[in-house]
Amino acid sequence: MLDYKLLEALATVIECDGFERAGDALGLSQSAVSQRIKALEIRLGQPVLLRHPHLQPTPAGRRLLNHYQQVQLLERDLRGTLPTLEEASPRLRIALNADSLATWWADTIGRFCQSEGLLLDIVIEDQDVGLKRLRDGDVAACLCASAQPIAGARCVPLGKMLYHPCATPDYIERYFSQGLSADAFQRAPAIVFGPHDQLQHRFLAQVGYHGAFPYHLCPSSEGFLRLAAAGMGYGMMPWMQVAPWVEKGLLASLAPEQPLEIPLYWHFWRHSGQVLERLTQVLGEARLQ
């Protein structure tokens, strides 16, 4: 049997991003935490942590963390049937796309988390990195736009989100009064989430433009909206996020007839216990378009 105190030390060091903070969280000295990590590495015959360029688990460490999380979830189910075993609930670590978190996610699962006493550890990632984290065992579930299956995980379609290229009416008048022309796209600053963001390119391809364009980089859903509302650019935004802004006349779509449809999929490890199964059921009721 594994010594779960050692795994707990590893999980806490990663979660707290430091030995000293992990010690505080566990009520241990920093050196006691180090000793537990060392004991784990001796037991395993290889390192579980990398210190540089920043604190992170090795691939072996990740597999241990994944296992630890699964055991915690199973214990959670057990405690449901043996209430006297009560203990602080484990945090469920999941990767989400930023736009879901900024819109429908909390409203959909809030009541469920309250009634289950479930705590979340949310990581914001685009789909490629999110699925990689799931494969590495760093998260127990991943919500993203990719249907690509992961061995050992289930993939449930949740519907889709509609995206519109939005900007202020002033901005649209300034750059696009002649329509969605190549000349306009070459001059009008866009807002792009990050280097992996393909929404902007997909929208431009859809309207027949394939050239270069100026853009701001802004890795935040809320920041995206704020930059657009300040007249700094246009960007692809979830309709459910911008609709109230459009109703008030603060933002408008450049292409009201041509939204992009982005599907959403929920990937999660099988055999991680009932709480993930029940959460999946709640998500299925989200009724995205």
Q: Which residues sit at the interface with its own copies, rule CB under 8 A?
A: 15-18, 21, 25, 50, 53, 56, 88-89, 91, 96, 98, 101-103, 105-107, 109-111, 113-114, 117, 119-124, 189, 194-196, 212, 214-223, 226-227, 229-232
* Minimum separation from the CB atom of position 87 to its own copies (A): 11
Q: Which of 269, 236, 281, 285 is nearest to 92 (CA)?
A: 269
Residue type, 215: Y
Q: Identify which of residues 4 and 213 has a Cβ nearer to its own copies in the complex.
A: 213
- Contact indicator for 138, 122 with CB cutoff of 8 Å: no
Q: Identify which of residues 39 and 109 has a Cβ nearer to its own copies in the complex.
A: 109
The helix or strand, by DSSP H or E, that contains position 155, with its residue range, turns out to be strand 153-167
Residues in the chain: 289
* Minimum separation from the CB atom of position 121 to its own copies (A): 4
Q: Identify which of residues 96 and 153 has a Cβ nearer to its own copies in the complex.
A: 96
Residue type, 255: A
The helix or strand, by DSSP H or E, that contains position 11, with its residue range, turns out to be helix 4-16
Four-residue CA torsion sign, 57, 59, 65, 68: negative
* Minimum separation from the CB atom of position 96 to its own copies (A): 8
Q: For residue 46, what is the DSSP state?
A: S
* Minimum separation from the CB atom of position 127 to its own copies (A): 14
* Minimum separation from the CB atom of position 226 to its own copies (A): 4
Only one residue has tokens 């109703």, namely: 247
The span from the CA of 22 to the CA of 44, in Å, is: 21
R_g of the chain computed on alpha carbons:
22
Q: Identify which of residues 83 and 195 has a Cβ nearer to its own copies in the complex.
A: 195
Q: Identify which of residues 56 and 146 has a Cβ nearer to its own copies in the complex.
A: 56
What is the token pair recorded at 225? 């909206």
Q: Identify which of residues 122 and 150 has a Cβ nearer to its own copies in the complex.
A: 122
Q: Identify which of residues 16 and 246 has a Cβ nearer to its own copies in the complex.
A: 16
* Minimum separation from the CB atom of position 191 to its own copies (A): 9
Beta bridge partners of 262: 161
* Minimum separation from the CB atom of position 190 to its own copies (A): 9
- Contact indicator for 92, 15 with CB cutoff of 8 Å: no
